[in-house]
Structures are given as C-alpha cells and as structure tokens.
Structure 1
Amino acid sequence: MNFIQFWQQVWLLIKPFWLSNKRYVALLWLVIILSCAIFEVYMSVRLTEWNGGFYNSLQNYDQRKFFTLLVSGSIIMLLFVFATIFTYYSSSILEIQWRKWLTEYYLQAWVKSRSYYFSEFIQNNQDNPDQRISDDVHQFVNLTIKILITSFRSIISLGSFLVILWRFSGNFIFNISTHSFFIPGYMVWLALLYAGIGTYITFKIGNPLIKLNYQQQCYEANFRYNLVRIREHSQQIAAYKAAAIESQHATRDFNHIVDNFMQVLRRNFKINMFNYTYGQISTIIPTLISAGRYFARKITLGDMMQINSAFARVQFAIAFLIYMYADIATWRAVMNRLSDFMHLMDESAKIVVPPIYHHELSLLVVKNLSIYNPAGNILVNNLSFEVSRAEHLLFVGKTGVGKSSLFKALNGLWPYASGVISERNGSKSLFIAQRPYLPLLNLKEAICYPLVNNLPSDTAIKELMIDCELDALIEKLYTSGDWNKMLSIGEQQKIIFCRVLINKPDIVYLDESSSALDRATELKLYNLLHAQLPQLAILTISHNNQLRQLHKKIITIA
C-alpha cells in the first residue's frame, strides 16, 4: 500500500462520522483537545525557560531567586498537569461519542445489507465479522485520536523548541585546508539528522508488525469464537464424550495465538532495544556537544539545561513515530480489518436473490422456479405452484434434494435461484427454519418474537401456552435467559407454534418445525393452527407421513 492509498483508507474510515450530523459537537471537542495540546506545549516552553533560570540561580548561589522560581515553577507544573488531565477527559468524551456513532453505523450497515446472513455465501469471507464491530471499532477510534493528538503536539513542539534550540546552538566552525566554514544552528540540524536516521531504522525493523498484529487479532477472534461454540454445544459434546477432542481443538487454536505472539514479542524486543538505546543516547548527545561551550564559559548551566531540554523536545517531535510505532502498527492492522469488513458488506450487498413481486391475486404464485446449489448444480427445476388462503401444502422428498433451499428462496434468502415469485400485496409471511431461534429476552418476548409492540396480554399468552402444552413454563414468563440452551428441542418447537398463533401471519413456512414432537402433539398443534387461524396458508416440509392427512396438496421434490 503506497502513501496515497494509505490516506485514502484512513479517510474512508473516518469520513462517515466526521461528515455526519454529529460532526459539529465532535469538532467542538476536537478544538478543545487541540487547544489543550497547544497550551501543554506552551507550558513546556515556559518550563524549559524556567529550567534555565532555576539552574542559573543554583550556579550563582542566588537563594532569593531560587525560592521565587520554585513558586513560579510549581504554578507552571500545576497548569501543565491540569491541561494534561483535561486533554485526557476531552479526548475520552470524543472517543466514546465517535465509537458509539460508528458502532451504530456499522451495525446498521451490517443488518441493512444483511451481511450477517449473506456473508456466508462469499468465498474467503472475513473471520468473525461481528467482532470487527465490537473490537476493532473501539481500537480504531482510540488509536486514531491518540495518534492525532500526539502528532499535533509534536508539530507544535517542533516549531516552538526549534527556536530555542537555534538560539542556543551557536555556529559550528571548522576548517578545510585554508578555508573556514561554519554551520549556523548546528544542533538543530544534528537533531533532525539523528531523528531521521532513528525513524528510518525503526520502520525497517518494525514493518512486519503490521501483518503480525493483523494475524494476532484473527487468531484471538477464532479462539474466542471456538470457546463460545463449545459453550453453546456443551450438551452435544458431553453426550459424545468428546471433551478431549474439543480441548485439543481449542489448544490448537490457542497455540496459533502463542506462536504468533512470540513473533510479535521478538519483533517488539528488537524495536524496544533500539528505542531504549536511541533514547539514552539522545540524552547524552546535547550535553556532550554543548559541554565545550559551557567550559569555555560561553553559556551558563541554565543555558545548557535549556539546550538539553530543547534538543530532547525537537528530537522527540521529529521521531515520535519511533516511540509510537507499536501503536501505529496496531492501528494499521485494525484499519486493514475494518476495510476488509466494509468490503465484505459491499460484496454482501451485491448478492442478488430472485425478486419477490407483489400483486392482488393469490397469496403466493411461483412460476418456473429453479434452485441451484453453490456449485451451480440444479436441485429444483422449473417448479410452479400457487397458494391461496387457508391452503395447506406439504413438500416431501429425500434429504438434500433442496426443500429447505426452496423455502429460503421463497423468502428471499437463497441467491442461487431463478424464476418468478409473487406475493399478495400487504400479505404477511413467517418463515420458521429447521433450527428454532429464541432471542435472549424474557420468555414472553421470546415467544412473541419478532413482534415487539402491542404484545398480547399475559392472560392471552398463558392460554396459548396451555394450548401448546407449555404449562410448566408459565411461571417463567418474565424470566430472561438463553432459552435455546435452557429448553429442550421439543419445548422450543412448541414455542414456535405459539409464536405463529401470536404473530398471525397470512402464510407460514414450517421447515421440519415439529420433527422433535411426538405424533399426537404434532397433530394437536397443527389442528390448533387450523382452528385458531382458519385463513392461514401453511407450507410444510416434513418426512412424517402422518402430516399428509392435514395438507390438501403434496409436492414431491425429487
């Protein structure tokens, strides 16, 4: 990535917030932060000048001036501390505002583009994209503000302390043959040269850190994800007595973290060795260079202290990239991952599914619909059918022939399809997938999902729960929990039927939604749908021949 591409990437990531309607408040905080940074640099200049007078008072044994300077120095230090603390407070406010807005922005884009679902259809899709929203947004905002403030402070410091260093540097005079030459402000040039060399070496040593930090975040995310999967499937793992296997897999993932961390550690060790050596030498250089003028009585001890302070400030202002290289490397890695995440959302938005048209005729009309697998092989070829109110269709066929993919296509969830799908204007459908989903809400809200407003009364809910044989759960109506883990599959499927009765769709797609129920309960719940929602159109996928008697049409998918 070249220089222009890098700044294009930075702008692409920061512009959503800084062009939003929140930018004015954010700009106010940014102005406050930068003003505090300027004030800090001003106090640093005053402190450097104070150093000169303080050490001169010591050299001249001037007790009165010594105590006077102690008081003024204390005031300067207090003001400096206040500016530093207020800078931290202001930057923290800006950070949380930016992070909140950007998290909501990415979350809405992730949901709107349906990347949370369609990203699964993209080859080489990013690992754990959800963690980009939770982790990388936080790091990106934090490091961007930190690097911005440090860069701004370094530029202001450079301009301020260059003047001081130039004033005390004097001229470096040397002779070549019979000619005399002099370099004005030679310590300024020495500081620039020293910082430039140090920055170049640091970048050469530390460049691999960007890739290593990117990989570290990948490995950490994979490890966390696999631990979550073990927790989510704990019952199945315990039933298979496969804890040792899962432990091996988790250990393998963690070993990736350790191996990559050791590479990061070795690279940081080299950078830190250079940085500490570089930093220690930088404290000696100005003293050695100015010592000759001091012993020649051309400058005072206070002047020497100011030279040391100004040289250090100039050197740090130029070479701040050296001291912040680890943060910059992490920042680059985070930006790369966020850019990949944005690319994933863009690619997800490009996925085309057969459009669902609207008309004033039957509830559902399907013409010449063909379903393919991701490899392009035909699963369902030129299927046509029509569904009216109160009509019940049963789809049968061997496992893997494309029945579930057909239902996904009818609900706009399967991109590998062609044909015409039309729904009645204003009709409401509900697709119940094979695996029940119960959100992390209280039981009443979980049952009513996706209905969130105007929920039925507790009395109505309880009556439906009794009808669906969920009597034992009535007392837990306002208990929150992970219901997919707390309830058996059979109980979850009973809740699904209760959910259909509450949401009252015009058409419901039931993809083996009663497979875990005993035959008597299964028939009872289907009859309950027929009785309480007589106009409901039901499309069912099932391998249970018993359900044939409840469906007027049977479509075989071969």
Structure 2
Amino acid sequence: MTQPLSKFQSFLVFAGKVRRLAAPYFNSEEKWKARGLLAAIIALNLGAVYMAVLFNEWYRLFYDALQNKDQEVFWRELGRFSYLAFGFIIIAVYRFYLTQLLEMRWRAWMTGHYMNRWLADKAFYHLELARFAKGEDAPPDNPDQRIAEDMNLFTSYSVTLSMGLLNAVVTLVSFVGILWSLSGSFAFSFNGSEYSIPGFMVWMAVLYCLVGSVITHYIGRPQIALNFNQQRYEADFRHHLVRVREYSESIALDRGEPVERRHLSGRFGEVLGNYLKLINAQKRLTWFTSSFGQAAVVFPFIVAAPRYFSGAIQLGELIQISSAFGQVQDSLSWFVDNYSRLAAWRATTDRITSFEESFQALQAPEAATAATTHEEDALALDDLQLALPGGVALLSARGLSLHPGDSVLVKGPSGSGKSTLFRGLAGIWPWAQRHLRLPADFAERAMFLPQRPYFPQGSLRDALAYPAPADRYSDTELQQALRESLLPDLVNKLDEPATWGQKLSGGEQQRLAIARAILKKPRWLFVDEATSALDEPAEAALYTRLQALVKESDGALISIAHRPTVADYHDTQWGLQPGEPGGARFRLLPA
C-alpha cells in the first residue's frame, strides 16, 4: 500500500509541478524577453520595499515634529513626502504594467504551446478516444477550458503569488532589523529570577503569524478540492450548452427540450452546489482572516503602549514601531492573506499537470504500428489488425490491395468496424497494428469523406476549401464545384458568413463535402456513407461524378454504404465476415 505523502513531500511535489510547467517558457525562444521582464519586475518589487523603508523612517520624523510642534521640520517632511510619494507612484504603475505584460506574454506562449500539442498528431482525437475507453470521468475533461481558462489562471497566479512572496520575504528582511532595534527588551520575573527577551516585538509578530498560518491552513484546505471541482463543473455545464446549440434542430425535432432542460439543470445544480460549498469554506476562512487582520491593527499599540506612557519612547517612535510591526506582520501573514488564491492556484496547476500527463501518455502507443513503404503505386493491406479501445480485437485484413482504376465497396453489418477500417487506413486509430504499403502520394492525395462532415464557422468559400486556404482556388473553381455537387443556390454566397454545419440540411452538408472532393481532385478517395442523406437520383449523379473524378486522377474509389444501389458504381466488393474463434470478431475478405 502506498504511504500518504507528508506535508513537506506534498509541497515538494507541487513545487516540482510548477517548475515543470513554468520552465519551458523561460527557456523558450522568448526566454530573453521573459527573463528581462521578470528581472525588471523583481527590481521594481525591491524598489517598492525600499520605498516602504523610507516611509517608515518618515513616519518617525513627521509624528515627532507634530508632538514637538516643530513647524520647520513639519513642512520639510511634507515636502519630502511629495518626493517619496512620486517615486512610489512611478514604481507602482510600472510594476503593475510589467507584471500584466509578463502574464499576457506567458499566457500567449503557453496557450500557443498547448494548442499546437493538442492539434498535433491527432492528439485532440486520441485524447477523446482515451477518455471514452477509460470512462467519461477520466482526464483530461474539457481540454478547451484548460487551454482557454486554466492557462490564464496559472500564469496570473504564478506571477502574482511568486512576486508577492518575494516582496514578503524582502520586506521581512528589511523591517525585522528595524523592529528589533525599536522594540527594545521585555523584562520579567519568574520563580525568583529575572529574565529579558530582546527584540520582543519581533518574537510577538512571529508567534502571532505562526499561529494564524496554522489555523488558516486547517480552516482553508478544503478549498483546494472545491476549486478543482468548480472549474470542472463550470466547463461541463458550458460544454452541454454548446452541444444543445450544435444539435438544436435534432433536439427540436425530437421535442427534447424537457430532457435537455433537466440535464442542463442537473449540471448547473452541480455548479451551484459546489459553489455554495466553496462560498461556505471561504466564509469560514474570512471569519478568521478578517479577525486576524483587525487584531493586528491594535496589537503593536497594546504591546508598545507601556513604553510610550512611561516616556521611554515618543509618539513618532510608537508610530514607527506600529508601521514596522505591520510590515513584518504582513510579510509573515502572506500565507494567511493569500490562502484562497493559493488553493485556486494549486487546483489550476493540478488540472494543467493532468493535461500535460495525458499528452505524455499518448507518446507511448498501446499497439505498435509498422512503418509503411512507398514503392508501388497501390495501397496494399498486408496485415491490418484493429482493436476496440478496451483491447478486444475487432477486425483483421490481409492480402488485399487497391490499385489505380479500382472501385471497391465495403459491406458488412452495423458495428462490424467498417468506419474503423477507414480510420485505420487513415492512420488515426491508435489501437491498430498496420503493415501497409502505401503509394508515394497517399498522404497528399488521399481524401476521406465521412457521413457527417465538418465545416468551420465563417464564409462559404472557407468551408468549401477547408482545410486549405480559400485563396488557393479561384471563384470560378469554387462555383463550378458547387454546381457539379448540385448546390446551384450557393454559387453566389461564397462570401456569406454562417455556421454552415447548422444552416445546411444533412443532404446539403453531404453535397458540400462532395464539392470539396471535386475541388481538390484526390487520387485515393474514401467515402463513408457520404451520400446516405441524399435521394437516389442525387446519389447516382454524384457517384457518377466521383467515379469520373478518380479516373481523371488515375486513382481509386473505396466506399462504405448500406444502400444496394451504391454497388452499381463499384467493380469490386469487400465483405466483413465473422472471424475465427480466438481471433478478431470480423475478417475483411473479397466478396
């Protein structure tokens, strides 16, 4: 059984997470800008502490002048205050500006870094597959929220809290000597002996803040898990709202509003329920921190009052003692004052760390994929083994090939792995062992048409040219592709922006996807139920066009379809037959 980590070990683990997340930026191509900004911010924080030391000395001179009714010193110190205040304002403004600038640059770099990793090598697709394989609650949940929000929170908290801690440490070092020299010794008798405690105010400040920090930790530590869950529940609720918008027509046709309202209410109930727990936890912590802060205002006066009333110190020294005690106490109370933000920072760090770990897990594939060769102008399936996410062998294919001029129809019962076959051929299915021989131009000139195509939000020309830039094609080429795919009504709407995946009917979306193929002229065309929403005359016209398209490119066509009429447009059929005992569930064989 794994032993639980001690508090110190947990701190070291967390510090290691922060270092691993922060180091890449400060060692990146922007490292000199990042390090320069960080150095400037540190210098300004040190300058702010120095100004605080000067103000502390000013308090003594100014209040002594008031007590002694020394008008000359009074006006002189007021003039000196204007210079100090101006310097403090300059430091405060540029410390804020450079801190925000560093946070912005760091966030921009981290967001770009993780977006690139998420979109590279089909990671966004594989992460979702891995989640489905392990269960919906498996990490990483809501990658969009981790990239959009968690990166922002992490960089903001990291800069703000680290600079706050630096400021607290430097302030403590700067003022502890001042407070020590001002506080004098505390003498008392005990059991017939005389004792003296030098620097009494310093020890009182340490004791006061130590007790406060311990109590704060035990009161506030539930906020770490609550902050983690709050970010997750918020993202789940927002994700479901987006799904209702994306599938609005289907939900409306099914009259599914009551069900969606119930689901949304349930997810929002989780948001509110956890948020209420978080509010109560913060309320309990605020009770203590507010009391702790208010007591700290009068505490130094109570301790130093006997020396003032005895005449040992003047009013200016009393004020200076109070100011120095406040600075030391604020430094030592940094943990108390920032506990809620520390809890949120830790939750955010844990979420990004789990996101990072999910990328690293993808680097160790669950099944080996053999290297392919590019010697022949054909696609040869020497040995293709596909499995389900749980590891169950789904499909095997051996000794099949696709040559220029071929047109093949893949047939089989639903759930036999026809679409997964295409995923394996495309190289995006992670649970695959592939021994394939691919033509040299396969990566550039192969195209897959799914049953439900994707269209980016924007102009029609962008949706039609996707993923290529729209300016690669002339208006004449785009319009001709629309006409040949039976979409003449869209010919004059190339620059119209819309959410085309929602605006177009299912049949129109499939025709627009076929228009893409006509525009791009692939050699190797894979069609997965891409005409299932079309009537038979439209299907016939478009399949005839696709046949001509691959012949013009000296390529091949391979389709998946359930309609018997689609077989008329193919010369060969491959069928998925039940597999042998102990092997894959289905075998792909020539029909």
Same fold, judged at TM 0.5 (above): yes
**Partner residue of 1:516?**
533
For 1:331 and 1:440, how far apart are their aligned partners in 2? 34
Residue in structure 1 matching 2:322, options 284, 290, 308: 308
**Corresponding residue number in structure 1 for 2:166:** 152
Deviation at 1:38, TM superposition (A): 1.0
Question: Among 452, 462, 484, which residue is 1:445 paired with?
Answer: 462
Q: Structure 1's 464 and 382: CA in aligned 2 closer, same or farther, altered over 3 A?
A: closer
Aligned match of 1:3 in 3, 11, 15? 11
Relative distance call for 1:353 and 1:513 in structure 2 (3 A) is farther
Instruction: Please give the alpha-carbon distance, in whole angstroms, between the structure 2 residues aligned to 1:493 and 1:212.
Output: 45
1:543 is matched with: 562
Aligned twin of 1:503: 520
CA distance in 1, matches of 2:114, 2:50: 39
The aligned residue for residue 111 of structure 1 is: 119
Please tell me the residue identity of whatever aligns with 1:543: H
Q: CA deviation at 1:477?
A: 0.3
1:408 to 423, 427, 433: 423
Which residue of structure 1 lines up, in the alignment, with residue 339 of structure 2? 325
1:353–1:413 CA contact under 8 A, matched in 2: no
Corresponding residue of 1:470: 487
TM-score, with length taken from structure 2: 0.92
Q: Structure 1, residues 38-89: CA drift from partner, whole Å, max 9, x if none?
A: 1111111111111111111111122232222222213212221221111010
Q: 2:499 maps to what in 1? A: 482
Deviations 1:457-476 (A, max 9, x none): 11121122111111111221
The one of 233, 256, 271 equivalent to 2:247 is 233
Residue identity in the other structure for 1:29: L
Q: Does 1:361 align with 2:376?
A: yes
Partners of 2:382 and 2:398 within 8 A in 1? yes
Tell me the TM-score normalized by structure 1: 0.97
How far 1:454 sits from its partner (Å)? 6.0
Superposition deviation, residue 419 in structure 1: 4.8
- 1:214 equivalenced with 2:228 (yes/no): yes
Kindly indicate whether the alpha-carbon contact (under 8 Å) linking 2:383 and 2:436 is maintained by their aligned counterparts in 1: no
Select 1:64's aligned residue among 69, 72, 76: 72
Structure 1 SS opposite 2:430: coil
Report how many aligned residue pairs link the two structures.
558
Q: Give the C-alpha shift of residue 426 in structure 1.
A: 2.6
Which position in structure 2 is the counterpart of 1:162? Answer: 176
Cα gap change, 1:188 to 1:376, in 2 (>3 Å): closer
Deviation at 1:531, TM superposition (A): 2.5
8 Å Cα contact 1:356/1:423 also seen in 2: no
User: What amino acid is the match of 2:548?
Assistant: A
Contact 1:394–1:551 (8 Å) recurs in 2: yes
Q: Which moved more, 1:137-146 or 1:480-489?
A: 480-489
> Which stretch shifts more, 450-459 or 209-218?
450-459
Aligned with 2:292: secondary structure?
helix
Moved more, 301-310 or 2-11: 2-11
Task: Give the secondary structure class of the aligned counterpart of 1:384.
Answer: strand
Aligned to 2:129: 121
Tell me the distance in 2 between the aligned counterparts of 1:73 and 1:299.
23
CA contact (8 A) 1:195 1:315 kept: yes
State the SS of the aligned residue for 2:380: strand
For residues 330 and 219 of structure 1, do their structure 2 counterparts lie closer, same or farther at Cα, with a shift above 3 Å needed? same
The one-letter code matched in structure 2 to 1:551 is: H
1:526 aligns with 2:540: no
Please list every run of 5 or more consecutive structure 1 residues that lacks an aligned counterpart in the other structure: none
Shift of 1:388: 0.6
Letter in 2 for 1:402: G
Residues 74-93 of structure 1 mapped to structure 2, 5 A cutoff: 74-93=82-101
8 Å Cα contact 1:355/1:412 also seen in 2:
no
**Equivalent pairs: percent with the same residue?**
32
Contact map agreement 2:301 2:322 (CA 8 A) in 1: yes
**Structure 1 counterpart of 2:557, one-letter code:** I
For 1:104 and 1:321, locate their aligned partners in 2 and report how far apart those are by CA, in whole Å: 32
**Conserved in 1, the CA contact under 8 Å of 2:122 and 2:428?**
no
Q: Tell me, in whole angstroms, the C-alpha distance in 2 between the residues paired with 1:313 and 1:378.
A: 67
Which runs of structure 2 are paired with 1:264-343 in the superposition (5 Å)?
Answer: 264-343=278-357
SS at match of 1:539: strand
Unaligned runs of 5+ in 2: 578-591
Distance in 1 between residues matched to 2:199 and 2:505, nearest whole Å = 81
- Closer, same or farther: CA 269–493 of 1 in aligned 2, 3 Å: same
